[in-house]
Amino acid sequence: MKKSYAILFALTTVLYGLLPYALLRHWGGLAVLLFWVSSALLWIIFSLIILEKEFKGV
Amino acid sequence: MFPIVFTLYIVFGTIIALLSRRLGVKTTADYFVASYRLGGFLASMTYAATTYSAFMMLGLVGYSYATGVASLGFELIYLVATVGFLTLVGPRMWRLARERKWITPSEMLSDLYAWRPLGISIALIYMISLIPYTAAQLKGISEVASSLGLSYEVGVVIASIVLITWIILAGIWSVATTDAYQGILMISSAIALIVWTAAFLLPSKGIDLAKAINNLVNSSSGNLLDLTWSPEFFISMSTPWIFFAITNPHVVQRIYMPRDERSYKVMVKYFAFYGFTYTLITVSLGLLFRAYASTAIDPMIEHALVRERDSVTPTFLKLAHPLIASVVYTSIIAAAISTANSIVLTVASSITRDLYERRISVPNQRVSRAVTTISIVSLTIVAALATYYRPAFIVDLSVLSSVMLIPLAPITIIGVYSKPSRAKSYFALTSLLVGCGLTMALAIIKGPIRVLRETLMGIPISLLILVISTIIMLLPLLKQWLNVFHSKLS
């Protein structure tokens, strides 16, 4: 596991959970739902791309 | 209708389990990890069916009905973190497992830290935390059975017999193939229910998308499209689930099984899209039913369901066509059985490996099989008795299981990426004992439910246990850094 990926993973996971809480007043309502769904999908696609690279370095 | 669907489910599942015997089981490695030769599809479906228990269709639907969109974030952060771990830590774990012939996660950790007592301690923690969790799954099955006309006791007996049969027939092969069958049943019944809800239930009361959103925004519980969970509650609930993929042995063991790199990648890909779809459907079911209830159900019942969240799905299914309701009820039982049989097989594998095979130089395969069978039957009977007598501490322990296993997160990550040393293994055992001990102590003082939901000194308790366990694990590294710092100064 590359350190850069690990740091990115930890930061993204924390941001994923807490960003809607930090910015809820400005976003509100459906924006939170759309943020969680779309960023989870992006994260899955991004992870699958990293997985291809990760197997070369195990 | 339900007895017919349920009988068909049992018959087909048993035929699949019987057919899986043809795949050949001779050694312990065959029985527990399919000798590392599981195809991508089977690996992904057993991973998904093991991970997603009856909580999804009962608990999560109820949570989203009562508390709204925050439950989506809670469940999706679990999926995001799991896919992250499977991407970053999983490949190394998969490679090391076949190089060092790991069969159980407790064996993995005792090998990584080169200290057998650590593995035995972890195997004991698995038993303490996961048998009550298995009992909770059996309890769910029995309650579904009793609400549909069978007695609770008959439900316990049927669930236990199915559990033992589907495990013993071919070990992981029968578990993985029946998991695939059950996983398909779970997702297809959820799709059928949401299609019926969107196409028939909501239009029958004139509820379109705009009205559904309006109902959720103006519900009696507040705006359910805003975050109704406090940040502390969100962190408390999410922390154990973020690390689920590396702390729970029945899912860790599944990382060892894919037969090659391609199968591993297929496992992660299929699981990710299965989890994403299943999560969206279950949360949407809760939200859409709440939108329906706001318009079409007696307000007293609507409010009662907010307090009795586990009754949301049964109330919902009373409105559905009997065939859809029966298939969904059967899928809830399937979700519970697929999780419970994986846990029982994994804990039995820890008993066989750590308490018998690794203690003698040349293990006898016949004795191994006997130990395994006795373990599977005994663990299921213990879980069944706990389900039947329903002692309060069993329910408490099943709630605590996810928090109790948190200390295994830093132990696993540091173990996989650092060289073993005796000092590190002592710190690992200390971290484990302090983490589990603190969980138990707080559970006695505050009560188990509050351990999962409350804060201590302003910090969510599950996060606090993770931080303390991690600090203990980092102490040897801190000492190294201080030595380097001192030598540079002098």
SS3 B419: coil
Q: Over the stretch A1-52, which tens digit does the pLDDT of each residue have? A: 567 788 888 888 888 888 888 876 666 667 888 889 999 999 999 999 989 8
- Here the ipTM equals 0.90
Using left for φ > 0, alpha for ψ between -120 and 50, and beta otherwise, residue B460 falls in beta
Report which of residues B362 and B290 the model is more confident about: B290
Treating both helix axes as pointing N-terminal to C-terminal, what angle do B105-112 and B90-100 enclose, rounded to 10 degrees? Answer: 90
Q: Which of B389, B340, B350, B335 is nearest to B127 (CA)?
A: B350
Q: Closest Cα partner for B28 from B381, B379, B359, B371?
A: B371
How sure is the predictor about B479, in pLDDT bands with cuts at 50, 70 and 90? Answer: confident
Region of poorest pLDDT, from B336-340, B451-455, B465-469: B451-455
Residue B164 pLDDT exceeds 80: yes
Place of tokens 């013993």: B168
Tell me the percentage of chain B whose pLDDT exceeds 70.
98
B218: closest chain A residue by CA: A29
Q: Hey, which of B69-73, B387-391, B473-477, B486-490 has the most confident mean pLDDT?
A: B69-73
Residues in chain A: 58
Tell me what the pLDDT averaged over chain B comes to. Answer: 91
Q: What are the tens digits of pLDDT across the range B208-233? A: 999 999 999 998 888 898 888 888 98
Q: Pairing between strand B455-456 and B459-460?
A: antiparallel
Q: How far is CA B116 from CA B107, B113, B119, B132, in A?
A: 8, 8, 5, 25
pLDDT tens digit sequence for B245-261 = 999 999 999 999 999 99
The first and second tokens of residue B38, run together, are 């599981």
Tell me the torsion sign for CA atoms A33, B466, B349, B343: negative
Tell me the range of B26-30, B224-228, B341-345, B439-443 where mean pLDDT is highest: B341-345
Instruction: Please give the Cα distance from B191 to B194 (Å, whole number).
Output: 5
Domains in chain B and their CATH numbers?
Answer: 2-391 (1.20.1730.10)
DSSP structural state of residue B249: H
Report CA B382 to chain centroid distance, whole Å.
Answer: 19
Q: Within an 8 Å CB–CB cutoff, is residue B467 touching chain A? A: no
Average pLDDT over residues B41-49: 97
**Which pLDDT does position B398 carry in this prediction?**
65
- Per-residue pLDDT, averaged over B86-105, amounts to 95
| Residue B63 vs residues B51, B57, B305: alpha-carbon distances, Å | 18, 10, 10
Q: Is the CB of A32 less than 8 angstroms away from the CB of B235?
A: no
CA B220, B225, B230, B234 torsion: positive or negative? positive
Interface test mutation site (partner A, options B74, B83, B413, B463, max chain A beta carbons within 10 A): B83
- Whether A17 and B73 lie within 8 Å, measured CB to CB: yes
> CA-CA distance, B97 to B36, in Å (whole number)?
9
Average pLDDT estimate for B9-15: 96
- The verdict on a CB contact (< 8 Å) between A32 and B88 is no
- Region of poorest pLDDT, from B334-343, B385-394, B451-460: B385-394
Output the pLDDT for position B320: 93
Q: How far apart are CA B67 and CA A3, in angstroms?
A: 37
Q: pLDDT tens across B265-300, in order?
A: 999 999 999 999 999 999 999 999 999 999 988 899
pLDDT reported for residue B394:
58
DSSP string, B335-397: HHHHHHHHHHHHHHHHHHHHHTGGGSSS--HHHHHHHHHHHHHHHHHHHHHHHHH--HHHHHH
